[in-house]
Structure 1
Amino acid sequence: MKTILLHIHDDLGAESRLQAACDLARAARAHVQCVQVTPMLEILAAGVGDGLGYAPAVAAELHAIDETFRAQVEARFAQEDVAWDWRQMDGDSLPGLLSAAKLADIIVASLPESGRSSAKDPLPIAADLALGGRTPVLAVPQAAKRFAVTGRALVAWDGSHAAGAALRAAVPLLALAEAVDIVTIEEEGGTAFPATDAPEYLARHGIKAQLHVWPRADRPTEALLREAIATLRADWVVMGAFGHSRLRELIFGGVTRALLRTAPVPLLLAH
């Protein structure tokens, strides 16, 4: 991975995203592309009708706010030994980031700690970024202090296309990890899922991985994965985003949605 797209936004997750991008850039000898999206489309839409005359003034104020934050971020980058550049655009955050990510190898976004209740809470767009494009997403908890890419990695494996996409995308980073654990959850009824294809695939890339079949014991998958993360002391997790249809997960819940709310470590997501 040589090009890291960093979502620039003045929120409570800004520092953890920047630190994760820098940690990754140093480990992979990569370049950080900072992308800042000023939400002009929303402002113009709000200005239709009686408020149209206020739209330019509001737009100018938003640009000034973003420029102030840009100066703060550039001062932080001056303390980091990484290559970086800056791209600013007007529009909506999700399509703007997806457009900018066409030639990026990974997107760094945030995992909000809870529901978004104020403008300072990170935008909950990590899953939509993974679903909306072909670039994997590193979703970082907003309280994270660093991204230990060279530490222990955990691969959540269920044999789905989404899990396969995440595993393929993660190969360059898994090659940097000191240890890789592949965790698969017992099927209903206690039947072990045949997951040997995942470690065999990694072995062909020169990556040694240990396979763990986690007993279900009538517990939900997301709880079992959180237990595996704690037990194996994983520093980050590779998982497919929405292995089932998005509609099914919205109705019945889902592992992705649950971990997006409660993951204690960064998640590398792909679909």
Structure 2
Amino acid sequence: MAYKTILTVLTDLDDVAPVLEAALPFARAEGAFLEVLCLGIDRTQTGYYFAGATTLMHEETMVQAQSLASGIEAAARARLNKTEISWGIDALVTQTVSVAGIVARRARFSDLVMLPKPYGTGCTSDASVVVEAAMFQGQSAAIVLPGGDGKPPGTAPERVVIAWNESAEALSAIRAALPLLKTAKLLNILIIDPQRHAAETADPGAGLSKMLTRHGVEVEISIVAQTLPRVSDVINRHVQDQDADMLVMGAYGHSRFREAILGGATRNMLENATVPVLMAH
């Protein structure tokens, strides 16, 4: 298995350079086709203006969204034209309510989605919608970039931490990450307070360790207590202690009626991550 179709979704001009600089070497190493979707989003909500103004406001905001989509596309094309990999690009204008559907349809037929950090200072409200749509509705694995001074994904992470809690989501992420995990020098399985969720408490992580070892990778298990208020803080500290290049973990929903919104622990993890996070639901 390899990643042959990689999708990235750009909704902000500031994301074009860092996201493409991360995605291009990755796609080159995988021999993959890079699909770039540029979205100009009209973030207004019709109905919140005084009588007679709605149509004019809608036209103005749609023009702004069109300008944004064109600007993102032009910047992306300028960078893509300098590369030898296979790529395609589309620019669309949409309203906020339609973003999830558009992204999900594209993600559904991609092997992997690479996206900018969705939470934190400077991130738009649509960034989290894109991540959630790709994983929950599009059922695609995603690499979420750390942004800022965080580590880029590289082409072959050498040290990978796997956050393991016996869940189906975590196992889905591990299987989606196998092409990368098989090339790593060391996989560290992190288990936090195993008695809370492990059926095999006598030897937590043994089954997963055996599965990964059979792929020819060195595997070690770290069992730690939750010594910090949030699980995400414990994971982030462990990633730093291990000097890891990537984190693999499940994406967990937080909705009684539909699993389409990332839970608080997952959001905290992505907001504070210092390495790329490969996630799947």
Shift of 1:98: 0.9
Give the ranges of 4+ consecutive aligned residues of structure 1 lying more than 6 Å apart after TM superposition. 43-48
Mark the CA change 1:45 to 1:97 in structure 2 (over 3 Å): closer, same or farther: farther
Shift of 1:63: 1.6
Most deviating of 147-156 and 102-111: 147-156
Structure-2-length-normalised TM-score: 0.80
Most deviating of 176-185 and 29-38: 176-185
Q: Which residue, out of 260, 264, 267, partners 2:277?
A: 267
Instruction: Letter of the 1:269 partner, please give it.
Output: M
User: Is the CA contact 1:98–1:129 (under 8 Å) kept in the aligned structure 2?
Assistant: yes
Per-residue displacement from partner, 1:230-254 (whole Å, max 9, x unpaired)?
1211111110011x7545x9xxx75
For 2:115 and 2:173, locate their aligned partners in 1 and report how far apart those are by CA, in whole Å. 16
Determine whether 1:97 maps to 2:103: yes
1:71: which partner in 2? 74
1:29: which partner in 2? 31
Q: Which residue, out of 241, 245, 248, partners 1:235?
A: 245
For 1:3 and 1:211, locate their aligned partners in 2 and report how far apart those are by CA, in whole Å. 31
1:133: which partner in 2? 138
Q: CA RMSD in A?
A: 3.1
Shift of 1:72: 1.4
1:6: which partner in 2? 8
User: Is the CA contact 1:148–1:236 (under 8 Å) kept in the aligned structure 2?
Assistant: no
Shift of 1:193: 6.0
For 2:10 and 2:63, locate their aligned partners in 1 and report how far apart those are by CA, in whole Å. 18
Shift of 1:162: 0.5
Percentage identity across aligned positions? 23
For 2:118 and 2:36, locate their aligned partners in 1 and report how far apart those are by CA, in whole Å. 20
User: Is the CA contact 1:31–1:83 (under 8 Å) kept in the aligned structure 2?
Assistant: yes
Mark the CA change 1:45 to 1:207 in structure 2 (over 3 Å): closer, same or farther: farther
Instruction: Letter of the 2:209 partner, please give it.
Output: P
Shift of 1:76: 1.4
Per-residue displacement from partner, 1:30-80 (whole Å, max 9, x unpaired)?
111001223258576778953314534542343233213311111112333
For 2:116 and 2:17, locate their aligned partners in 1 and report how far apart those are by CA, in whole Å. 10
- Correspondence list, 1:190-205, <5 A: 194-204=204-214
Shift of 1:264: 0.7
For 2:239 and 2:82, locate their aligned partners in 1 and report how far apart those are by CA, in whole Å. 32
Per-residue displacement from partner, 1:124-183 (whole Å, max 9, x unpaired)?
232453223310111112224632241222211111010011011111222233332222
Most deviating of 104-113 and 231-240: 104-113
1:173: which partner in 2? 180
How many residue pairs get aligned? The number is 264
Shift of 1:228: 1.7
- Find the residue that maps to 1:268 and give its secondary structure: strand
For structure 2, the residue ranges without an aligned partner over 5 or more in a row are none
Q: Which residue, out of 103, 116, 138, partners 1:110?
A: 116
Mark the CA change 1:80 to 1:154 in structure 2 (over 3 Å): closer, same or farther: farther
For structure 1, the residue ranges without an aligned partner over 5 or more in a row are none
User: Is the CA contact 2:161–2:190 (under 8 Å) kept in the aligned structure 1?
Assistant: yes
Most deviating of 17-26 and 50-59: 50-59
User: Is the CA contact 1:188–1:216 (under 8 Å) kept in the aligned structure 2?
Assistant: no
For 1:184 and 1:145, locate their aligned partners in 2 and report how far apart those are by CA, in whole Å. 23
For 2:34 and 2:220, locate their aligned partners in 1 and report how far apart those are by CA, in whole Å. 33
Mark the CA change 1:40 to 1:19 in structure 2 (over 3 Å): closer, same or farther: same
For 1:177 and 1:200, locate their aligned partners in 2 and report how far apart those are by CA, in whole Å. 16
Q: Which residue, out of 59, 62, 65, partners 2:65?
A: 62
2:128: which partner in 1? 124
Mark the CA change 1:95 to 1:122 in structure 2 (over 3 Å): closer, same or farther: closer
